[in-house]
Amino acid sequence: MLGPSQRLTLGLHALAGTQTITDLAGDFEVSRKFVYQQAATAQSALEETFAAEAADDHVLFQLPVTKAWLRQATLGLVLLCHSSYRGVREFCRDLLDVNMSEGTVHNIVQDAVDKARPYNQQQQLDNVAIAGFDEIFQNRQPVLVGADVASSYCFLLSLEGQRDADTWGLRLLELQERGFAPKATIADFGTAMRAGQKLAMPGVPCRGDVFHALAEVTPVVTYLENRAYDAVAAQHKLEQKKANTKRQGQRTNALGQQARCAQQAEVKAVALADDVALLARWLNYDILAVSGLPYADRCALYDFIVAELKAREPLCPHRIGPVCTLLKNQRNVLLAFAAQLDLDLTALAEEFQVPVDSVRALLDLQALDECQSRRWQKEAGLRQKLGDRFYGLYVRVQVLANQVVRASSVIENLNSRLRPYFFLRRQLGADYLVLLQFFLNHHRFLRSEHPDRVGKSPAQLLTGETHAHWLELLGYKSFSRN
């Protein structure tokens, strides 16, 4: 009278041993023999299932290998697996028993280039709000790279003979023909790129990459800290040597003089390391941070830090000097994001008809840890002050903070994805970059820190429109198991 699901439950309980056989027989109103039978049936099913999975020669599905499928496999190996042409040839020979020459692989890739080129040239760039630029080199030849910060869509991947201002300006003018008109750009401190943008887009600001600036400051802090540790160790070693000499009844005048000099050097080295580390923390976590600090105050504090570093430059000129020069020359571009943030916060304050200081306080509030009582005390005060406007303004400030762009991280990430492809080829060639640009823009993200990007391509994120698989865009039919 028991149904299949009930017999399954009975067998599983018997195998699990959560109840005795007698109790199970009583609960289901069956004999103990019947319980043993169901347990044996379940055990046999489990063994059969795992035995089938363990069989390496078990046929999972049939794959119709055609010429079209071999072309797809070739493109997949080249673009997905970063394989060289010779690697594709060996794969076909060793796994498929197919003789495919390197020339055939080249022809397949070249055919895909001709199909991919229109997608790169026809894509409109009206939705690019903030663009990132950089240069990457292969065999001493520069490759100009540009991408949309929001979607990571690569709209520029051009192999050039040189990277001067005229070359950059020409490429930017070509992009403007496709609707390229960003509100701002962001890049490192390369002069040619900035000069080229000034020629082609004179009214568009180019922000400085905060990451590159901090990457110059951090090694100096590390170097000074290591030098301070060495000074402490040297002074401690001299003190031990002095103590051992004194115990042996020998004179310690010379060692005492050396120990005093070492102690003075230790004090100076530790003080310098502490001061520079403190200035670097202020620069990173206060001045260059996304906070409610007004732009004028940031500029004043920035100048103060540069002046303090300049005052300590004689103590370590070969390390502190270049950092002072960089920070002094790049102040305006590094703080460009803060100037725009000031305008956005003021606009929000006018929209919600609240003081701008309250909007700045909300931005600072979001940076506090939720586990701190200080955060909730400040939030309670702002809730009481803003009333029913608190929640709407809080959400808008949060969205605004997430949209602030201080670093060209998208470009650095794109360069890290390009490098494995460049590594396989001595000479890139413009055609290869065309196919690579198409693939990077239409290949869907497998994973991301942002859930809304998973399963979408940069082209889809830029336009908001779905598109077919990148292989189908190239004219192939995707294989699916029946």
Residue 193's CB is within 10 A of a number of other CB atoms, namely 25
Residue 326 CB partners (closer than 8 Å, separation 6+): 189, 213, 216
pLDDT > 90? residue 345: yes
Question: Band of the pLDDT at 242, cuts 50, 70, 90?
Answer: confident
Q: Decide which of 109 and 239 is more confident.
A: 109
Task: Kindly tell me the burial class for residue 24, based on how many C-beta atoms sit within 10 Å of its own C-beta (0-12, 13-18, 19 or more).
Answer: buried
- Residue 144: HSE in the Cβ half-sphere, 13 Å Cα cutoff: 24
Distance CA 225, CA 280 (A): 13
135 three-state secondary structure: strand
pLDDT > 70? residue 56: no
pLDDT > 90? residue 420: no
Listed residue (172, 180, 177, 176) closest to 126, CA to CA: 180
Distance CA 33, CA 25 (A): 9
Distance CA 241, CA 265 (A): 18
Residue 168 CB partners (closer than 8 Å, separation 6+): 144, 192, 193, 195, 196, 197, 200
pLDDT score, position 277: 95
pLDDT score, position 4: 84
Distance CA 406, CA 210 (A): 6
**Mean pLDDT, residues 154-178 taken together:** 93
Distance CA 23, CA 168 (A): 82
Distance CA 326, CA 419 (A): 28
Listed residue (286, 14, 265) closest to 23, CA to CA: 14
- Look at the chain and count its residues: 482
Q: Which long-range contacts (CB under 8 A, 24 or more apart) does 446-449 make?
A: none
Listed residue (128, 175, 183) closest to 156, CA to CA: 175
As a three-state string, the secondary structure of 306-369 is HHHHHHCHHHCHHHHHHHHHHHHHCHHHHCHHHHHHHHHHHHHHHHHCCCHHHHHHHHHHHCCC
Full-model pTM: 0.78
Task: Kindly tell me the burial class for residue 239, based on how many C-beta atoms sit within 10 Å of its own C-beta (0-12, 13-18, 19 or more).
Answer: middle
pLDDT score, position 140: 84
Pick the CATH number of 66-205+407-482 from 3.30.70.270, 3.30.70.3270, 3.40.50.150, 3.30.420.10: 3.30.420.10
Residues above pLDDT 70, as percent of the chain: 98
289 three-state secondary structure: coil
Residues above pLDDT 90, as percent of the chain: 63
Per the structure block, which two tokens stand in for 79?
């673009």
Per the structure block, which two tokens stand in for 132?
């990132």
Question: Band of the pLDDT at 428, cuts 50, 70, 90?
Answer: low
pLDDT score, position 461: 94
Question: Band of the pLDDT at 53, cuts 50, 70, 90?
Answer: low
pLDDT > 90? residue 460: yes
**Mean pLDDT, residues 190-204 taken together:** 92
pLDDT > 70? residue 427: no
Distance CA 280, CA 341 (A): 22
Listed residue (330, 328, 318) closest to 220, CA to CA: 318
As a three-state string, the secondary structure of 24-75 is HHHHHCCCHHHHHHHHHHHHHHHHHHHHHHHCCCCCCCCCCCCHHHHHHHHH
Per the structure block, which two tokens stand in for 262?
């070492």
Per the structure block, which two tokens stand in for 392?
């709407």
**Mean pLDDT, residues 76-100 taken together:** 92
How far from 323 is each of 172, 179, 301, 454, CA to CA, in Å? 31, 38, 16, 39
How far from 272 is each of 53, 116, 124, 308, CA to CA, in Å? 65, 57, 53, 11
Residue 406 and residue 290 in contact, taking contact as beta carbons nearer than 8 Å: yes
Residue 151: alpha-carbon gap to chain centroid: 13
Distance CA 342, CA 5 (A): 65
Distance CA 166, CA 175 (A): 14
pLDDT score, position 395: 93
**Mean pLDDT, residues 172-184 taken together:** 94
**Mean pLDDT, residues 109-122 taken together:** 92
The residue extents of the domains of the chain are 4-54, 66-205+407-482, 210-334, 337-403
pLDDT score, position 478: 84
Listed residue (231, 211, 214) closest to 315, CA to CA: 231
pLDDT > 90? residue 1: no
Mean residue pLDDT of the chain comes to 90
Distance CA 235, CA 261 (A): 9
pLDDT score, position 359: 92
Which of 45-54, 231-240, 322-331, 424-433 ranks highest by mean pLDDT?
322-331
pLDDT > 90? residue 321: yes
Listed residue (276, 180, 281, 267) closest to 232, CA to CA: 267
Instruction: Using DSSP bridges, classify how beta strands 141-148 and 184-187 pair: parallel, antiparallel or unpaired.
Output: unpaired
